[in-house]
Chains A and B, each alone.
Chain A
Amino acid sequence: MEVSAKTEDRFCVVSVLHERIDAAAALEFKDAMRHATASAPPVVILDLHRVNFIDSSGLGAIVAAMKHLAPQRALVLAGLTPAVEKVFTLTRMDTVFGIFVTLDAALTAYRG
């Protein structure tokens, strides 16, 4: 599971470079997130625009990443594709995460 991380003053952006976070990739995703956010600032923006499929294991892995960052740091999501958004909506997890339609919208909000 490859992710890329870019850090600015107040936030960092972690972009998932794979097209799915499923059961086979969930553990790798969690490890990659831990590694990429080890010294992250208070806000981590998870850029999911390349991800076109997550299953319940992938959802669980994203929740685990948020729990790992809390309470000092927040995880927000950006660029959800329709299939990813559907899983968040069905499980009501869209009410738990801050979600931005695009990465640009998230950057604008946090650069403020």
Chain B
Amino acid sequence: MRRPAPRSALSPVEISIHSGPHAAREALVLLLDGLTCLALEAEETCVVRLVVAEMLNNIVEHAYPDPDYPGPIHIACHHEPDGLHLAVWDEGLPMPDLQAPLGLPQEIDRPICDLPEGGFGWFLIRDLAKDLSYQRLAQENRIELRLAVGLSSPD
């Protein structure tokens, strides 16, 4: 059941942090704090946490692979009737082939010793996010996506 009362509009949230092992945690504390006025349900918050964590972990691991040369990560977020719109950009290495990974499901019907221990990140992002786009602009990677959370009630 959706909440009937109209919600307060979210002021756009902007976050800038540095890449590093705790980048995702730092960003999530700031982002979720900025989203409190949306009063997201637990399951919706879970979607936000997962997608943002996976995106930031990817940036830390692949865009800024050398821990001696960290770089900035920016997140901008605003709320519309169809959900949360997120833009995440960094100044690190481009994605391979200038494309965001397809994130195909992992093959798991196999013996335990052959089970994959990685490669779930982009699958989760693609599964949970809508309208995902990736652009390499000058020296920046920019991903935009929508999360169908905090939807307006149809009335």
Residues on A lying within 8 angstroms of B by beta carbon are: 22-24, 53, 55-57, 59-61, 63-64, 66-67, 70-71, 82-83, 86-87, 90-93, 95-96
- Nearest residue (CB) in A for B125 is A56
Q: Mark B40-81, 1 if CB is under 8 A from A, else 0.
A: 001100100110011001001100000000000000000000
Q: Name 13 extra pairs, CB < 8 A, besides A22-B25, A66-B112, A91-B105.
A: A53-B49, A53-B53, A55-B54, A55-B124, A56-B118, A60-B117, A63-B116, A67-B112, A67-B113, A70-B113, A87-B50, A91-B120, A93-B108
- Nearest residue (CB) in B for A95 is B108
Q: Report how many A-B pairs have Cβ atoms within 8 Å.
A: 85
Is B124 in contact with A90, judged by CB distance below 8 angstroms? Answer: yes
Residues on B lying within 8 angstroms of A by beta carbon are: 21-22, 24-25, 42-43, 46, 49-50, 53-54, 57, 60-61, 105-106, 108, 112-113, 115-121, 123-124, 127-128
- Chain A residues with CB below 8 A from B112, complex form: 66-67, 70-71, 96
- Chain B residues with CB below 8 A from A56, complex form: 54, 57, 118-121, 123-124
Is B113 in contact with A22, judged by CB distance below 8 angstroms? Answer: no
- Chain B residues with CB below 8 A from A71, complex form: 112-113
30 A-B contact pairs sorted by A residue (CB < 8 Å): A22-B53, A22-B57, A23-B24, A23-B57, A24-B21, A53-B49, A53-B53, A55-B50, A55-B53, A55-B54, A56-B54, A56-B119, A56-B123, A57-B118, A57-B121, A60-B120, A63-B115, A63-B116, A63-B117, A64-B117, A67-B117, A70-B112, A70-B113, A71-B112, A71-B113, A82-B42, A83-B46, A90-B123, A90-B127, A90-B128
